[in-house]
Protein backbone atom coordinates (compact mmCIF):
# COMPACT_ATOMS: atom_id res chain seq x y z
CA UNK A 1 0.00 0.00 0.00
CA UNK A 2 1.32 3.46 -0.90
CA UNK A 3 2.22 6.02 1.74
CA UNK A 4 0.11 9.17 1.69
CA UNK A 5 1.79 12.33 0.45
CA UNK A 6 0.14 15.67 1.20
CA UNK A 7 1.35 18.36 -1.20
CA UNK A 8 0.74 21.74 0.40
CA UNK A 9 0.70 24.69 -1.97
CA UNK A 10 -0.27 28.33 -2.21
CA UNK A 11 -1.50 27.73 -5.75
CA UNK A 12 -4.97 28.95 -6.69
CA UNK A 13 -7.11 26.09 -8.00
CA UNK A 14 -10.32 26.43 -9.99
CA UNK A 15 -13.12 23.83 -9.85
CA UNK A 16 -15.44 23.64 -12.84
CA UNK A 17 -19.06 22.48 -12.91
CA UNK A 18 -17.92 18.90 -13.57
CA UNK A 19 -15.81 18.93 -10.42
CA UNK A 20 -12.56 18.99 -12.37
CA UNK A 21 -9.57 20.89 -10.98
CA UNK A 22 -7.44 23.41 -12.86
CA UNK A 23 -4.38 25.52 -12.03
CA UNK A 24 -2.01 27.87 -13.90
CA UNK A 25 1.31 26.60 -12.61
CA UNK A 26 2.60 23.58 -14.51
CA UNK A 27 4.63 22.37 -11.51
CA UNK A 28 1.49 21.92 -9.40
CA UNK A 29 0.12 19.68 -12.14
CA UNK A 30 3.22 17.71 -13.12
CA UNK A 31 4.83 17.14 -9.70
CA UNK A 32 1.73 15.63 -8.01
CA UNK A 33 0.85 13.59 -11.11
CA UNK A 34 4.40 12.28 -11.35
CA UNK A 35 4.70 11.43 -7.64
CA UNK A 36 1.26 9.77 -7.63
CA UNK A 37 2.95 6.71 -9.17
CA UNK A 38 4.79 6.20 -5.90
CA UNK A 39 2.51 7.79 -3.27
CA UNK A 40 -1.17 8.38 -2.64
CA UNK A 41 -1.03 12.09 -3.39
CA UNK A 42 -3.40 14.62 -1.82
CA UNK A 43 -3.16 18.27 -2.94
CA UNK A 44 -4.03 21.12 -0.58
CA UNK A 45 -4.45 24.51 -2.26
CA UNK A 46 -6.41 27.74 -2.33
CA UNK A 47 -9.80 28.15 -3.96
CA UNK A 48 -10.06 30.33 -7.06
CA UNK A 49 -13.23 31.56 -8.75
CA UNK A 50 -11.15 32.54 -11.77
CA UNK A 51 -10.79 30.00 -14.57
CA UNK A 52 -7.41 28.31 -14.88
CA UNK A 53 -6.00 26.37 -17.82
CA UNK A 54 -4.14 23.25 -16.65
CA UNK A 55 -6.27 20.29 -15.63
CA UNK A 56 -4.83 18.34 -12.69
CA UNK A 57 -5.31 14.62 -13.31
CA UNK A 58 -5.79 13.63 -9.66
CA UNK A 59 -8.86 12.80 -7.61
CA UNK A 60 -7.74 13.86 -4.14
CA UNK A 61 -7.58 17.64 -4.30
CA UNK A 62 -8.79 19.92 -1.52
CA UNK A 63 -9.13 23.69 -1.89
CA UNK A 64 -10.10 26.26 0.71
CA UNK A 65 -11.27 29.86 0.70
CA UNK A 66 -9.55 30.96 3.90
CA UNK A 67 -6.49 30.17 6.00
CA UNK A 68 -8.49 28.61 8.86
CA UNK A 69 -10.10 25.83 6.80
CA UNK A 70 -6.81 25.38 4.94
CA UNK A 71 -4.90 24.72 8.17
CA UNK A 72 -7.70 22.69 9.73
CA UNK A 73 -7.64 20.19 6.86
CA UNK A 74 -3.91 19.68 7.36
CA UNK A 75 -4.42 19.27 11.11
CA UNK A 76 -7.24 16.74 10.87
CA UNK A 77 -5.09 14.46 8.73
CA UNK A 78 -2.35 14.22 11.36
CA UNK A 79 -3.89 10.91 12.48
CA UNK A 80 -2.98 9.34 9.14
CA UNK A 81 -0.18 6.81 9.51
CA UNK A 82 2.90 6.90 7.28
CA UNK A 83 1.95 10.31 5.89
CA UNK A 84 4.49 12.62 4.28
CA UNK A 85 4.17 16.37 3.77
CA UNK A 86 5.68 18.34 0.89
CA UNK A 87 5.36 22.12 0.92
CA UNK A 88 5.88 23.71 -2.50
CA UNK A 89 7.29 27.25 -2.16
CA UNK A 90 7.03 29.61 0.80
CA UNK A 91 4.10 32.00 1.06
CA UNK A 92 2.04 33.23 4.03
CA UNK A 93 -0.28 30.20 3.66
CA UNK A 94 2.46 27.58 3.38
CA UNK A 95 4.52 29.33 6.05
CA UNK A 96 1.70 28.86 8.58
CA UNK A 97 1.31 25.26 7.41
CA UNK A 98 5.01 24.74 8.14
CA UNK A 99 4.60 26.09 11.67
CA UNK A 100 1.63 23.78 12.26
CA UNK A 101 3.66 20.78 11.11
CA UNK A 102 6.51 21.75 13.42
CA UNK A 103 4.22 22.16 16.42
CA UNK A 104 2.94 18.62 15.99
CA UNK A 105 6.40 17.23 15.21
CA UNK A 106 5.46 16.13 11.71
CA UNK A 107 8.35 15.47 9.35
CA UNK A 108 7.97 17.68 6.33
CA UNK A 109 9.81 18.78 3.21
CA UNK A 110 9.95 22.29 1.73
CA UNK A 111 10.67 22.59 -1.97
CA UNK A 112 12.18 25.97 -2.86
CA UNK A 113 11.53 26.57 -6.56
CA UNK A 114 12.67 30.19 -6.75
CA UNK A 115 14.44 32.97 -4.87
CA UNK A 116 11.71 34.28 -2.59
CA UNK A 117 13.96 37.08 -1.34
CA UNK A 118 14.16 38.61 -4.80
CA UNK A 119 10.53 37.88 -5.69
CA UNK A 120 9.17 39.57 -2.58
CA UNK A 121 11.59 42.47 -3.07
CA UNK A 122 10.41 43.00 -6.66
CA UNK A 123 6.82 43.25 -5.42
CA UNK A 124 7.12 45.01 -2.03
CA UNK A 125 10.63 46.44 -2.02
CA UNK A 126 12.90 45.95 0.98
CA UNK A 127 9.87 45.30 3.19
CA UNK A 128 9.06 42.28 1.05
CA UNK A 129 12.61 41.01 1.43
CA UNK A 130 12.32 41.33 5.23
CA UNK A 131 8.96 39.52 5.27
CA UNK A 132 10.37 36.62 3.28
CA UNK A 133 13.49 36.48 5.47
CA UNK A 134 11.31 36.02 8.57
CA UNK A 135 9.27 33.29 6.89
CA UNK A 136 12.35 31.52 5.56
CA UNK A 137 14.31 31.68 8.84
CA UNK A 138 11.46 30.09 10.80
CA UNK A 139 10.42 27.59 8.12
CA UNK A 140 13.85 25.97 7.67
CA UNK A 141 13.95 24.97 11.35
CA UNK A 142 13.34 21.20 11.61
CA UNK A 143 12.39 20.98 7.93
CA UNK A 144 13.92 18.92 5.14
CA UNK A 145 14.86 21.31 2.38
CA UNK A 146 14.78 20.68 -1.36
CA UNK A 147 15.89 23.32 -3.84
CA UNK A 148 16.39 23.66 -7.56
CA UNK A 149 19.63 25.61 -6.99
CA UNK A 150 22.25 25.42 -4.25
CA UNK A 151 22.11 29.13 -3.35
CA UNK A 152 18.41 28.92 -2.47
CA UNK A 153 19.33 26.82 0.58
CA UNK A 154 21.20 29.81 2.06
CA UNK A 155 23.90 27.50 3.48
CA UNK A 156 21.31 25.24 5.10
CA UNK A 157 21.48 21.50 4.62
CA UNK A 158 19.27 20.21 1.82
CA UNK A 159 18.95 18.37 -1.48
CA UNK A 160 19.32 19.96 -4.91
CA UNK A 161 17.13 18.72 -7.78
CA UNK A 162 16.94 19.49 -11.49
CA UNK A 163 13.37 20.47 -12.46
CA UNK A 164 12.24 19.68 -15.97
CA UNK A 165 9.17 19.06 -18.10
CA UNK A 166 11.19 17.58 -20.94
CA UNK A 167 10.48 14.14 -22.34
CA UNK A 168 11.85 12.42 -25.44
CA UNK A 169 9.40 14.25 -27.72
CA UNK A 170 11.15 17.57 -27.05
CA UNK A 171 14.29 16.30 -28.76
CA UNK A 172 12.57 14.94 -31.87
CA UNK A 173 11.79 16.65 -35.18
CA UNK A 174 13.49 19.93 -34.28
CA UNK A 175 12.41 22.56 -36.83
CA UNK A 176 14.65 24.91 -38.79
CA UNK A 177 13.70 28.54 -39.18
CA UNK A 178 14.91 31.59 -41.09
CA UNK A 179 16.83 33.66 -38.49
CA UNK A 180 16.54 36.84 -40.54
CA UNK A 181 12.82 37.00 -39.80
CA UNK A 182 13.16 37.90 -36.14
CA UNK A 183 10.34 36.59 -33.96
CA UNK A 184 10.72 36.92 -30.19
CA UNK A 185 8.89 34.62 -27.76
CA UNK A 186 8.09 34.73 -24.05
CA UNK A 187 6.34 31.84 -22.29
CA UNK A 188 5.09 32.37 -18.76
CA UNK A 189 2.82 34.22 -16.42
CA UNK A 190 2.17 37.95 -16.59
CA UNK A 191 3.72 39.23 -13.35
CA UNK A 192 5.79 42.26 -12.37
CA UNK A 193 8.63 40.05 -11.12
CA UNK A 194 8.67 38.22 -14.47
CA UNK A 195 9.82 41.47 -16.12
CA UNK A 196 7.29 41.25 -18.90
CA UNK A 197 6.03 44.82 -18.37
CA UNK A 198 9.61 46.05 -18.53
CA UNK A 199 10.17 44.16 -21.78
CA UNK A 200 6.97 45.56 -23.27
CA UNK A 201 8.18 49.07 -22.48
CA UNK A 202 11.59 48.37 -24.07
CA UNK A 203 9.95 47.11 -27.27
CA UNK A 204 7.36 49.87 -27.44
CA UNK A 205 7.26 51.40 -30.95
CA UNK A 206 10.21 49.24 -32.04
CA UNK A 207 10.40 46.94 -35.08
CA UNK A 208 10.60 43.64 -33.20
CA UNK A 209 7.56 41.41 -32.82
CA UNK A 210 7.01 39.61 -29.51
CA UNK A 211 4.60 36.77 -28.81
CA UNK A 212 3.58 36.20 -25.19
CA UNK A 213 2.23 32.72 -24.49
CA UNK A 214 0.64 32.49 -21.06
CA UNK A 215 -1.57 29.99 -19.23
CA UNK A 216 -3.64 32.87 -17.86
CA UNK A 217 -6.94 33.89 -19.41
CA UNK A 218 -8.15 37.33 -20.49
CA UNK A 219 -4.75 38.98 -20.07
CA UNK A 220 -4.08 42.46 -21.45
CA UNK A 221 -1.12 44.78 -20.98
CA UNK A 222 -1.66 48.20 -19.44
CA UNK A 223 -0.80 49.86 -22.74
CA UNK A 224 -1.62 48.39 -26.12
CA UNK A 225 1.41 47.61 -28.25
CA UNK A 226 0.80 46.68 -31.87
CA UNK A 227 3.92 44.51 -32.10
CA UNK A 228 3.05 42.37 -29.06
CA UNK A 229 0.67 39.44 -29.43
CA UNK A 230 -0.72 37.74 -26.29
CA UNK A 231 -1.94 34.14 -26.55
CA UNK A 232 -3.72 32.32 -23.74
CA UNK A 233 -2.78 28.71 -24.29
CA UNK A 234 -3.56 25.37 -22.68
CA UNK A 235 -0.52 23.11 -23.04
CA UNK A 236 -1.71 19.55 -23.63
CA UNK A 237 0.71 16.77 -24.62
CA UNK A 238 3.60 19.22 -25.11
CA UNK A 239 1.70 21.09 -27.82
CA UNK A 240 3.45 24.28 -26.67
CA UNK A 241 6.48 23.12 -28.66
CA UNK A 242 4.96 24.64 -31.77
CA UNK A 243 5.47 28.15 -30.38
CA UNK A 244 9.17 27.56 -29.81
CA UNK A 245 9.43 26.16 -33.33
CA UNK A 246 7.68 29.16 -34.88
CA UNK A 247 9.98 31.74 -33.26
CA UNK A 248 13.67 32.53 -33.68
CA UNK A 249 14.67 33.69 -30.19
CA UNK A 250 13.25 33.06 -26.73
CA UNK A 251 13.54 35.93 -24.25
CA UNK A 252 13.25 35.59 -20.48
CA UNK A 253 12.99 39.10 -18.97
CA UNK A 254 12.52 38.07 -15.32
CA UNK A 255 14.03 40.03 -12.46
CA UNK A 256 14.47 36.82 -10.49
CA UNK A 257 14.72 33.16 -11.47
CA UNK A 258 16.30 30.07 -9.97
CA UNK A 259 15.92 27.25 -12.50
CA UNK A 260 13.63 28.46 -15.32
CA UNK A 261 12.35 25.37 -17.10
CA UNK A 262 11.27 27.40 -20.14
CA UNK A 263 14.94 28.10 -20.80
CA UNK A 264 15.64 24.39 -21.18
CA UNK A 265 12.49 23.97 -23.27
CA UNK A 266 13.73 26.57 -25.73
CA UNK A 267 17.18 24.96 -25.92
CA UNK A 268 15.60 21.54 -26.46
CA UNK A 269 13.90 22.98 -29.55
CA UNK A 270 17.23 24.52 -30.67
CA UNK A 271 16.22 28.11 -30.06
CA UNK A 272 18.68 30.65 -28.55
CA UNK A 273 17.73 32.39 -25.31
CA UNK A 274 18.23 35.98 -24.12
CA UNK A 275 18.14 36.92 -20.44
CA UNK A 276 18.85 40.21 -18.70
CA UNK A 277 21.70 40.81 -16.27
CA UNK A 278 19.59 40.30 -13.15
CA UNK A 279 19.35 36.56 -13.84
CA UNK A 280 22.63 35.97 -15.67
CA UNK A 281 23.29 33.07 -13.25
CA UNK A 282 20.69 30.91 -15.07
CA UNK A 283 23.09 30.56 -18.00
CA UNK A 284 25.27 28.14 -16.04
CA UNK A 285 27.03 25.83 -18.52
CA UNK A 286 24.26 26.11 -21.12
CA UNK A 287 25.30 26.88 -24.68
CA UNK A 288 22.98 29.25 -26.53
CA UNK A 289 22.06 31.53 -23.62
CA UNK A 290 22.97 35.22 -24.00
CA UNK A 291 23.00 37.95 -21.37
CA UNK A 292 22.33 41.63 -22.06
CA UNK A 293 21.47 44.86 -20.25
CA UNK A 294 17.83 45.81 -19.66
CA UNK A 295 17.66 48.45 -22.39
CA UNK A 296 16.88 48.49 -26.08
CA UNK A 297 20.40 49.23 -27.34
CA UNK A 298 21.89 46.21 -25.57
CA UNK A 299 18.97 43.98 -26.55
CA UNK A 300 19.25 44.99 -30.20
CA UNK A 301 22.99 44.31 -30.23
CA UNK A 302 22.43 40.84 -28.77
CA UNK A 303 19.65 40.02 -31.23
CA UNK A 304 21.84 41.08 -34.15
CA UNK A 305 24.70 38.91 -32.94
CA UNK A 306 22.42 35.88 -32.65
CA UNK A 307 20.85 36.30 -36.07
CA UNK A 308 24.24 36.82 -37.72
CA UNK A 309 25.66 33.67 -36.12
CA UNK A 310 22.51 31.58 -35.91
CA UNK A 311 23.69 28.25 -37.31
CA UNK A 312 26.93 28.31 -35.32
CA UNK A 313 24.89 28.92 -32.15
CA UNK A 314 22.44 26.11 -33.01
CA UNK A 315 25.33 23.67 -33.45
CA UNK A 316 26.63 24.62 -30.00
CA UNK A 317 23.17 24.23 -28.43
CA UNK A 318 23.09 20.63 -29.62
CA UNK A 319 25.86 19.66 -27.17
CA UNK A 320 23.81 20.68 -24.09
CA UNK A 321 22.91 17.93 -21.63
CA UNK A 322 19.44 18.89 -20.44
CA UNK A 323 17.51 17.37 -17.50
CA UNK A 324 14.32 15.39 -18.12
CA UNK A 325 11.01 15.17 -16.32
CA UNK A 326 11.53 11.49 -15.51
CA UNK A 327 14.85 12.18 -13.81
CA UNK A 328 13.33 15.07 -11.86
CA UNK A 329 10.42 13.02 -10.51
CA UNK A 330 12.82 10.20 -9.61
CA UNK A 331 14.99 12.67 -7.70
CA UNK A 332 11.98 13.87 -5.68
CA UNK A 333 10.76 10.32 -5.05
CA UNK A 334 14.15 9.22 -3.74
CA UNK A 335 14.38 12.22 -1.40
CA UNK A 336 10.87 11.70 -0.03
CA UNK A 337 11.44 7.97 0.59
CA UNK A 338 14.91 8.30 2.10
Name all domains of the chain by residue range, CATH numbers in brackets: 4-164+326-337 (3.40.50), 168-317 (3.40.50.2000)
**DSSP code string of 70-123:** HHHHHHHTTT-TTEEEEEES--HHHHHHHHHHHHTT--EEEEE-S-HHHHHHHH
307, containing H or E segment: helix 296-308
pLDDT at 222: 67
CB 42 within 8 A of CB 4: yes
Write the pLDDT tens digit of every residue in 97-109.
999 999 999 999 9
Write the pLDDT tens digit of every residue in 304-330.
999 999 999 999 999 999 999 999 999
pTM: 0.84
User: At 79, is the pLDDT very low, low, confident or very high (cuts 50, 70, 90)?
Assistant: confident
pLDDT at 2: 87
Average pLDDT over residues 165-171: 94
CA distance 301 to 297: 6
* Phi, psi torsion values for 211, nearest 5 degrees: -105, 130
**DSSP code string of 158-219:** EEE-------GGGGSSPPP--TTS-EEEEES---GGGTHHHHHHHHTTSS-EEEEEESSSS-
Write the pLDDT tens digit of every residue in 251-292.
999 998 888 999 999 999 999 999 999 999 999 999 999 999
For residue 2, give the DSSP letter: P
Mean pLDDT (the chain, rounded):
93
* Phi, psi torsion values for 127, nearest 5 degrees: -65, -40
Do the strands 54-55 and 144-147 form a parallel or antiparallel pair, or are they unpaired? unpaired
Write the pLDDT tens digit of every residue in 44-70.
999 999 888 889 999 899 999 999 999
Least trusted range by pLDDT, from 38-52, 80-94, 215-229: 215-229
Amino acid sequence: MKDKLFIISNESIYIDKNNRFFCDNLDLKSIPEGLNKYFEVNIIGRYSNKKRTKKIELKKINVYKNIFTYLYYIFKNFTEQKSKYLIISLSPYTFLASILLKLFLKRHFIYLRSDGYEEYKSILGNLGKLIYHLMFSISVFRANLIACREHLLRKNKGNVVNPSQLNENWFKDQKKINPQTIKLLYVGRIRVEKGIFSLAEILKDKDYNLTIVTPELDIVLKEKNKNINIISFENYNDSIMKFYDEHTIFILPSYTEAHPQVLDESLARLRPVIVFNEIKHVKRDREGVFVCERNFQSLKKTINYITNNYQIIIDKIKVNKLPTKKNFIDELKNILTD
